[in-house]
Structure 1
Amino acid sequence: MFILDAPWCGHCKALAPEFAKAANTLAEKESGIKLAKVDATEETELAEEHQVRGYPTLKFFRNASPVEYNGGRQADDIVAWLLKKTGPPAKELKTVEEAKEFIDANNVAVVGFFKDQTTDAAKAFLGAAASIDDHPFGITSDDKIFKEYDVQCGTIVLFKKFDEGKVVFEGDATEKNIKKFVAGNSLPLIVEFNHETAQKIFGGDIKSHLLLFLNKGEDHFEKVTEAARSVAKPFKEQVLFVTIDASEEDHQRILEFFGMKKDEVPAARLIKLEEDMAKYKPESNELTSDSIKQFVEDFLAGKLKQHLLTQDLPEDWDKEPVKVLVASNFDKIAFDSEKDVLVEFYAPWCGHCKQLAPIYDKVGEHFKDDKNIVIAKIDATANELEHTKVTSFPTLKLYPKGDNNVIEYNGPRTFEGLTKFVESGGVDGAGIDEPVEEETEDDDTPRKDEL
């Protein structure tokens, strides 16, 4: 396995000691797996051959075939992932000593106690073990091991070096349920967000997260953390509880993503990571065990309305030929059934948006005296609309008069192309006339996958 990195990359520097530690661990285990690193800024042909688009990139080669690494960024995660890829899904534990050594050697270890590995439950356990790369699985049929851990045949136990120490699986032993059990119990009840845990938090199976924005070192940090810990357990397979140190400079863009200011901390938000991110804000700023519990319960019951970002409406929003829209006035202007309305959804950091700006201003000037046409723009990073999700910038949409059946512009970003699009009622330019470059939220600073 090798890592392609860049000397200037902060994430690479953070990973380097963990990668070295993983290499030492594998050597101590007398494993045949070798770890290596490549400076992708020097070995550019190699980086291009393996389609490296970001740093660090980790690839595992087995029989000369590359496999994309998708595990965690800590040494234990790297070792567990590699051992799972090169060995059986669950290690056979034959003696009490082997079982103890296996459990003691891992931060999280999952053990199945099965006399007969051909049963449906054992097959489900092995199926879950094969599909989970982050944590080691063991399996045993030895009576002495059963006695040592005081379990019955068919028991599945997750051992961990934090919180309550171990958790016994309950319920119908299907592969899906076992995977859910591991996902819900393999992280601490309260997870601190940092470079090491980010991948586990946002790449895990639990997609609903309670984010607690706190200032580490201040009096409220321990108080709110303990309040959350006291109520987190019943929700652990449904909602991940995460603390974010809002005083860290690296975390400022997370606050920006939620439209928060430093003086709002301590604060809580809920986020649901699905195709479209949904964000929720509690009614009260009070963060007690009761208020946190109520917030999560209301979320799970579907009682909460999405919290959508909006800017204040400028007093001079309609002064210029290109009108300024925010979330609060968008529907009134864009869905005016008596006017054709062209809207640019832009991001302040987007280079393509900056290039389009003088052209778009010229389009606005061209139509400024036409009472049936409105040219407008909206900062889509600071204003969210429940009915419209935009992930690439700039995005241009025409809201024609009458039925307001929205038409997206896919033509060239020229004065001629845009004016023809508007004048034709969205006919000329709705199809793809030529390739158009776009910037997504992964192209620049605000990256949702690295919150």
Structure 2
Amino acid sequence: MITSMFLALLVSSVIAAEKDSAPPRLSDTKAVEAFINSAEVVVIGFLEGEESHGFKELIEAAKKVKSVPVAICFEKEVWADYSVSSGTISLFRKADDHKEYLSLANAKKLDVDGLVNFISTNEVRYITEYNQVSAVGLFNSDVKTHLLVFANRGTKEFTELNQKIGALAPEFTGKFLFVQVNGAVKSNFRSLNYFGLKSKDLPRIGIYDGNSDMKWLLPEGDITPERVQEFCQSFLRGELKEVKQAGHEAKTEL
């Protein structure tokens, strides 16, 4: 008897935990807007119901990509406010004010891994660490100018610069993507070499402009938010053109 009661309590606790961890349901535009504004990157499944294509896959993907909040909206009258007319999984991000739409009608082979990849590759933040996955979202963005923070992970500078420089990013939304490049990773040596840098030279700050394929380095010295801010403003004012540091080689990725 006691054993049966214990098992019943255990099962009910598991069910309650699963419900608590389930993505929130957004019932109106106000709720959707509040959710979008709640984090740097969010995902919303505009779906017809729990039996619709993509629902179970999104629930499982949400469990694997814990860094990105996920919600569901079943209310079709809300969809029109976000240019959605059929089942769609949408990613909203603040760094470049971008929306990425995955139409379920065109995703015939949709699976959990595919959704995880969709979210991960588009998870561009106010400051994004560069790697093979994040590179996809960074270079597919309409914002082609990158403020690069070169630092070696594991050092004090890596963490401090991530906080201090990342705090500037909202000011330059739509103008720069802030990218952190870990100079201690061999796969990033190509990026360092492109700027004439080695791991021992870090930390340094650079700008890469994909539109002109040009690059600049902030002169050596203390890396303060004020200096980095002025560096970015100088680029936007066109004052860095006379200090071009890019080579003549073609450049398609860092």
Paired residue for 2:83? 125
Paired residue for 2:238? 302
TM-score computed with the length of structure 1 as normaliser: 0.34
Q: Is the 8 A contact 2:47 2:72 kept in 1?
A: no
Q: Is the 8 A contact 2:97 2:173 kept in 1?
A: no
Per-residue CA shift, 1:25-83, capped at 9, x if unaligned?
Answer: xxxxxxxxxxxxxxxxxxxxxxxxxxxxxxxxxxxxxxxxxxxxxxxxxxxxxxx9xxx
Q: Secondary structure at the match of 1:217?
A: coil
Paired residue for 2:47? 92
Paired residue for 1:223? 160
Partners of 1:195 and 1:284 lie apart in 2 by: 28
CA drift at 1:199: 1.6
Partners of 1:247 and 1:117 lie apart in 2 by: 45
Q: Gapped runs of 5+ residues in structure 1?
A: 1-79, 81-89, 139-157, 161-166, 168-178, 310-382, 392-447
Equivalent position to 1:290, from 202, 221, 226: 226
Q: Secondary structure at the match of 1:238?
A: coil
TM-score computed with the length of structure 2 as normaliser: 0.56
> Structure 1 215/449 Cα, relative in aligned 2: closer, same or farther at 3 Å?
same
> Structure 1 297/250 Cα, relative in aligned 2: closer, same or farther at 3 Å?
same
Q: Is the 8 A contact 2:124 2:134 kept in 1?
A: no
Q: Secondary structure at the match of 2:98?
A: helix
Partners of 1:206 and 1:212 lie apart in 2 by: 17
Partners of 1:304 and 1:110 lie apart in 2 by: 43
When Rg is computed on C-alpha atoms for both structures, the one with the higher figure is: 1
Paired residue for 2:210? 273
> Structure 1 303/92 Cα, relative in aligned 2: closer, same or farther at 3 Å?
same
Q: Secondary structure at the match of 1:259?
A: coil
Q: Which amino acid aligns with 1:197?
A: S
Q: Is the 8 A contact 1:109 1:136 kept in 2?
A: no
Paired residue for 2:252? 449
1:201 equivalent in alignment to 2:138: yes
Higher helix content, 1 or 2:
2
> Structure 1 117/231 Cα, relative in aligned 2: closer, same or farther at 3 Å?
closer
> Structure 1 101/291 Cα, relative in aligned 2: closer, same or farther at 3 Å?
same
**Which portions of structure 1, spanning 4 or more consecutive aligned residues, are displaced by more than 4 angstroms?**
100-106, 108-114
Q: Secondary structure at the match of 1:225?
A: helix
Identity of aligned residues (%): 21
Paired residue for 1:255? 192
CA drift at 1:111: 7.5
> Structure 1 103/259 Cα, relative in aligned 2: closer, same or farther at 3 Å?
closer
Q: Mapping of 1:3-402 within 5 angstroms? A: 91-93=46-48, 107=68, 115=77, 122=81, 125-126=83-84, 136-137=89-90, 158=92, 180-182=97-99, 186-274=123-211, 276-305=212-241, 307-309=243-245, 384=247, 391=250
Q: Is the 8 A contact 1:108 1:186 kept in 2?
A: no
CA drift at 1:266: 0.6
Paired residue for 1:436? none
Per-residue CA shift, 1:366-414, capped at 9, x if unaligned?
Answer: xxxxxxxxxxxxxxxxx84xxxx564xxxxxxxxxxxxxxxxxxxxxxx
Partners of 1:302 and 1:269 lie apart in 2 by: 15
Partners of 1:292 and 1:110 lie apart in 2 by: 36
CA drift at 1:213: 0.7
